[in-house]
């Protein structure tokens, strides 16, 4: 299943850093960013998370929350958040049920070996609960800035 611009955001509820729980119902009536990343504390994921963290004042200024999602267990996610001072919720989707609903759990290939994993993807979800924009196969360089520019257009 793949989710596209204009679709209603699939439901989710996941444990997140700081003893929080993130859910679609908890975000009702608020625009937010839901981004999926493959693995905590790896170079690309760290760069992406730190870019979202440094952009938080701008996102919050627009009334937009940021939620990161990976298939990692909570313990490595908590360590990752603490190591880089990440204050926004990082959620654990260990069973990759949410990733499957959003179409980000895909077959990948490395060194000729096929495996299942997270495709780095970002969703900008409007206050109406609909997907405003999707970025698939994200390149982390300048990505948070691109998302912020799109978020400014939500108005």
Question: 143-152 vs 43-61: helix axis angle to the nearest 10?
Answer: 20
Query: φ, ψ for residue 39 (rounded to 5)?
Result: -160, 130
Active site residues: 45
Helices (H) and strands (E) in the chain — how many of each? 4, 9
Whether the CB-CB separation of 20 and 140 falls below 8 Å is answered with: no
Three-state SS at 2 = coil
C-alpha to C-alpha distance for 32 and 29, rounded to whole angstroms = 10
Phi and psi, residue 126, nearest 5°: -75, 170
């Amino acid at each position: 299943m793949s989710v596209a611009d204009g679709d209603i955001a699939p439901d989710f509820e996941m444990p997140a850093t700081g003893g929080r729980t993130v859910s679609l119902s908890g975000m009702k009536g608020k625009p937010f960013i839901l981004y999926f990343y493959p693995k905590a504390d790896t170079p690309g994921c760290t760069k992406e998370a730190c870019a979202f963290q440094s952009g938080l004042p701008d996102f919050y200024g627009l009334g937009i929350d940021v939620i990161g999602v990976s298939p990692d267990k909570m313990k490595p996610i908590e360590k990752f958040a603490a190591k880089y001072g990440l204050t926004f919720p990082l959620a654990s989707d260990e069973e990759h049920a949410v990733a499957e609903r959003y179409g980000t759990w895909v077959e990948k290939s490395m060194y000729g070996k096929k495996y299942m994993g997270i495709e780095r993807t970002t969703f900008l979800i409007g206050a109406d609960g609909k997907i405003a924009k999707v970025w698939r196969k994200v390149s982390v360089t300048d990505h948070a800035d691109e998302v912020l520019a799109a978020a400014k257009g939500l108005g």
